[in-house]
Amino acid sequence: MSKVNFLNVHKSFGDVEVLKGINLTVEPSKVVCLIGPSGSGKSTLLRCVNHLETATAGAILVDGQMMGYNVRGDRLVEASEAEINKRREDVGMVFQSFNLFGHMSALENVMFGPMRLKKISRSVAREQAVALLTKVGLGDRLENYPSQLSGGQQQRVAIARALAMEPKVMLFDEPTSALDPELVGEVLEVMRELARSGMTMIVVTHEMSFAREVADEVVFMDGGVIVERGEPEALLSNPQHERTRSFLSRVA
Ligand code: ADP
Ligand code: MG
């Protein structure tokens, strides 16, 4: 599984700098949970990893390969669209809002990426999709359309769809925030299992019990900087910074 390095990552939208020099290393097979108030830059940071946003300065390396650029001698050269798309295949992303194709069944949603982007045959893609959907507990829902599934089921399809591309790192942006409380657990269980299987994961979440149990490191961001980081128990039970304490007292 991949290692991810954030090297002094800055991102501005116009005059507004929303990431102000993020340095972070996520070792292979480790789980990092990103927490912090709304607007602190968590989603932007994740989106920079697969180049949905382009960092204004600094670099992000996935397995030592820079997203978006190539090194030529001592110069940086922008990667081609094809190279960017290729590197994106290593980075799976799951959003708050599922983003499934509404006109496709669960099975077709999971088969789509491998067939379209990896040129895998329909029969092989189908076999893999059935296995993945079974793994996330939806083996009996293959032919259902998103509108026929609960939010928790849709999010599990979205996870299976991301995994179908055989990513080396998975990014989750508040994957349970849009779910009714009783559906949160089934999605977290799938994520827990994925972590156990050795996937490198960066998870933006407000689920502190998940962070406490699954994360190798918890990172607290505020105002575009990392304020504090540490092992979950230490950071969540004994935060060193006032901003962390105040945030945790509001979400706990
Ligand atoms: P978080 O995920 O922690 O809530 P975001 O990364 O979504 O934070 O946003 C960080 C800041 O960047 C916010 O102030 C937000 O308004 C701003 N922002 C995010 N995306 C854009 C964009 N495409 N254009 C302008 N500002 C943006
Ligand atoms: Mg966000």
Q: What are phi and psi of 224, to 5 degrees?
A: 85, 10
Tell whether ligand 1 has an atom less than 6 A from the beta carbon of residue 39. Answer: yes
Containing structural domain, residue 120:
91-166
Output the average pLDDT for the chain: 95
Tell whether ligand 1 has an atom less than 6 A from the beta carbon of residue 38. Answer: yes
Specify the pLDDT at position 246: 96
* pTM score: 0.95
CA distance 170 to 159: 9
Q: Give the mean model confidence (pLDDT) for residues 174-194.
A: 96
What Å distances lie between residue 244 and 9, 18, 25, 229, 238, CA to CA?
21, 18, 20, 10, 10
Residue 139 lies in a domain: yes
Residue 113 lies in a domain: yes
Query: Quick one: which atom of ligand 1 is closest to the CA of 44?
Result: 6
Rama region for 41: left / alpha / beta (φ>0; ψ in -120 to 50; rest): left
Tell whether ligand 1 has an atom less than 6 A from the beta carbon of residue 43. Answer: yes
What Å distances lie between residue 60 and 9, 53, 135, 142, CA to CA?
7, 12, 31, 36
Q: Give the mean model confidence (pLDDT) for residues 153-180.
A: 97
Residue whose CA lies nearest to ligand 1 atom number 14: 39
Exposure letters 233-243 (e unless 16+ CB within 10 A, then b): eebbeebeeeb
- Summarize pLDDT for 143-152 with one digit per residue, the tens: 999 999 999 9
Residue 160 lies in a domain: yes
Specify the pLDDT at position 11: 97
Percent of the chain's residues with pLDDT above 90: 85
Residue 97 lies in a domain: yes
Residue 176 lies in a domain: no
Tell whether ligand 1 has an atom less than 6 A from the beta carbon of residue 139. Answer: no
ipTM exceeds 0.85: yes
Residue 51 lies in a domain: no
How is residue 57 written in tokens? 């300065």
pLDDT value at 78 more than 90: no
CA distance 165 to 167: 6
Specify the pLDDT at position 65: 85
Specify the pLDDT at position 67: 82
Q: Give the residue from 13, 21, 33 showing the smallest Cα distance to 232.
A: 33
- Summarize pLDDT for 94-119 with one digit per residue, the tens: 999 989 999 999 999 999 999 999 89
Choice from 10, 44, 53, 221 to test ligand 1 binding pocket (greatest atom count within 8 A of CB): 44
Specify the pLDDT at position 2: 87
Residue 60 lies in a domain: no
Specify the pLDDT at position 73: 82
Tell whether ligand 1 has an atom less than 6 A from the beta carbon of residue 51. Answer: no
Tell whether ligand 1 has an atom less than 6 A from the beta carbon of residue 34. Answer: no
Residue 154 lies in a domain: yes
- Summarize pLDDT for 45-54 with one digit per residue, the tens: 999 999 999 9
Helix (H) or strand (E) segment spanning residue 173: strand 169-173
Number of domains in the chain: 1
